[in-house]
Copies of this chain bind each other. A is one copy, B any other.
Amino acid sequence: MAPVKVFGSAAFTNVARVLVCLEEVGAEYEIVDIDFHIKEHKGSEHLARNPFGQVPAFQDGDLILFQSRAISRYVLRKYKTAGEVNLLREGNPGESALVDVWLDVEALQYDPIMNLVFVQHRVVPALGGTPDESVISESVEKLRKVLDVYEAQLTKHRYLAGDFVSLVDLSHFPETHYFMGMPYAAVLDSYPRVRAWLEDLFSRPAVKKVVSLMAKDFN
């Protein structure tokens, strides 16, 4: 089987999300860097893969995909038969529905907040600007509301979708990894169950591997 291809550097959180799934299932894959400095992401070759000119894109033979969570679902389905990994729970209608629920929470509630903080703290200064502290503090307040819900859920269950690890948990790691290196990460100290869940998550070999790839690429 020819290795699947992931277009985009591991330093992008949306790329890292796909990579951790590939690592979890032990798939053979190739990372193809897209050079943003020469606007390769807006070139016709990349736009044919991802019409929004974003990363990641993904190729498996003739099939081209984009959107990190959709690619992650595809990867976890494709390689499911290869091992014990069952990160979508698709055999069980209730459990797979709860994976869908909490993956939408991550995508629509958690990730946008994390992304706003990341842009202000890392991207704005890198472009010579000054972070808007009010955007950061409003975002941290919104984050608290989400973490209140997570803490309650993780008091009832070991993982977000239930007592099983799933794509939901993995999907949180890339943005959270960057956030944990920022001064605002102290907010997590008020949430012991969330802290324990993150420690568990970051101890997974697949997550450790992708964290090392992110560090190498981030500059």
Contact = CB atoms under 8 A, between A and B. Distances in A.
B73 A100 contact: yes
What's the dominant secondary structure at chain A's contact region?
helix
Interface in A90-125: 93-94, 97-98, 100-101, 103-105, 107-109
A70 interface: yes
A104 B101 contact: no
Interface residues on A, range: 20 to 34
A65 interface: yes
A104 B107 contact: yes
B66 A149 contact: no
A51 B97 contact: no
A82 interface: no
Nearest to A108: B107
Contacts of A152: 51
Contacts of A153: 51
Contact of A69 (B77, B93, B104): B104
Contacts of A63: 94, 97
Interface of A: 51-52, 63, 65-67, 69-71, 73-74, 77-78, 93-94, 97-98, 100-101, 103-105, 107-109, 149, 152-153
